[in-house]
């Protein structure tokens, strides 16, 4: 059983510990904390970050201010985090895209996903759902696949960028389903939705937290999902249509710049575990289709390394090389 799955299923609620003083700043925290979100407002990453940081603020007794720094599939904001001081006053959201996947696509990545950061915890994970706007012109998954096969290279899919897990998985879906589509990258999910509605793009492999409401009110059609969903319980699994092994999840984590004192990382992880592994906090994340995890910093580091190997192996099968 993988570390990620073990923590998603079980979790471990730790007893909060006092953090040691940050260098030159007295007992931590003494002032507001900044959290860099490397994607635009309104998408699943942003929504999850805001829920997590609100409860972290409550636990620490200091404001945690969200700063959106979108661009290049999350790598712009991640670079800003890597360059910040490791004093506990700048944190950042890491994702499956920004850390294990980005090096697959970029030789010039401006940070090292391992050495440039201090892992704190994996907040939780969410499934992938294939959604379409009116221009998809298909009522269900078989009809969509039939339309794409009849029009190779004509159906347009969106992604949040060419360095994202969503892009890698859409390429995998093309291979598994024997289809060919055309790609248009965006800077984040919130920028994709208007173009799905107006027909600029046709389909998008998304995470449910932001788009599920638009599926429920009929603006989008949800065709298939990688794992059972609380927000979209009626959407069938990809495996129901013979797309075996297409069951990946996307995770949201919390990191700090390299050199953060271990006691601060541990205190943050323990505060989030206390807030989200049971009670109202857990229910709040699960209602967003995010399964809480909250592993220790050491276990989160191993999860990132395991994912990096897994997604590199997939990229090799797809003949994808960094540019």
Q: Does 3-127+248-317 match 129-241 in CATH topology?
A: yes
Q: Which CATH code is given to the segment(s) 129-241?
A: 3.40.190.10
Q: Is the pLDDT of residue 192 over 50?
A: yes
Label residue 25 by pLDDT band (50, 70, 90): low
CA distances from 174 to 46, 167, 168, 218, 311 (A): 28, 11, 10, 26, 16
pTM: 0.88
Among 11-25, 60-74, 141-155, top mean pLDDT goes to 141-155
CA distances from 240 to 206, 214, 229, 312 (A): 19, 23, 14, 27
pLDDT at 15 (0 to 100): 35
Label residue 20 by pLDDT band (50, 70, 90): very low
Mean pLDDT of the chain: 92
What are the φ/ψ torsions at residue 302 (nearest 5 degrees)?
-70, -35
Over range 260-273, report the average pLDDT: 98
Over range 170-199, report the average pLDDT: 95
Question: What DSSP state is assigned to residue 134?
Answer: G
pLDDT tens figures, 84-123:
999 999 999 999 999 999 999 988 899 999 999 999 999 9
pLDDT tens figures, 218-252:
999 999 999 999 999 999 999 999 999 999 999 99
Label residue 43 by pLDDT band (50, 70, 90): confident
Over range 207-218, report the average pLDDT: 94
Architecture of the domain spanning 3-127+248-317? 3-Layer(aba) Sandwich (3.40)
Please report, for the chain, the start and end positions of each structural domain, with discontinuous segments joined by +.
3-127+248-317, 129-241
Closest CA relative to residue 226, chosen from 126, 127, 314 = 127
Strand partners, 156: 182
């Amino acid at each position: 059983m993988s570390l990620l799955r073990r923590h998603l299923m079980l979790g471990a609620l730790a007893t909060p510990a006092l953090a040691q003083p940050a260098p030159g700043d007295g007992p931590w925290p003494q002032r507001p904390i900044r959290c860099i979100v490397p994607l635009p407002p309104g998408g699943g990453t942003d929504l999850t970050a805001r829920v997590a940081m609100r409860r972290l603020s409550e636990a620490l007794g200091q404001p945690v201010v969200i700063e959106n720094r979108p661009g290049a599939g999350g790598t712009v904001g991640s670079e800003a985090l890597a360059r910040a001081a490791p004093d506990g006053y700048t944190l950042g959201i890491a994702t499956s895209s920004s850390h294990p996947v980005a090096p697959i696509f970029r030789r010039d990545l401006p940070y090292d996903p391992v050495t440039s950061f201090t892992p704190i915890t994996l907040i939780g994970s969410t499934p992938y759902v294939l959604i379409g706007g009116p221009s998809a012109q298909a009522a269900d998954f078989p009809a969509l696949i039939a339309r794409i096969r009849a029009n190779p290279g004509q159906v347009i899919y969106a992604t949040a960028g060419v360095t994202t897990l969503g892009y890698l998985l859409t390429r995998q879906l093309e291979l598994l389903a024997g289809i060919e589509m055309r790609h248009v990258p965006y800077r984040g999910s919130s920028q994709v939705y208007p173009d799905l509605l107006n027909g600029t793009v046709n389909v998008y492999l998304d995470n449910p937290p932001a788009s599920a409401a638009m599926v429920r009110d009929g603006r989008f059609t949800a065709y298939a999902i990688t794992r059972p969903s609380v927000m979209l319980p009626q959407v069938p699994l990809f495996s129901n249509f013979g797309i075996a092994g297409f069951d990946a999840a996307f995770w949201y984590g919390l990191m700090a710049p390299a050199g953060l004192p271990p006691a601060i990382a541990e205190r943050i992880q323990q505060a989030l575990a206390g807030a989200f592994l049971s009670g109202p906090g857990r229910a709040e994340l699960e209602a967003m289709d995010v399964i809480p995890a909250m592993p220790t910093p050491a276990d989160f580091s191993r999860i990132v390394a395991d994912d990096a190997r897994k997604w590199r192996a997939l990229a090799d099968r797809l003949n994808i090389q960094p540019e």
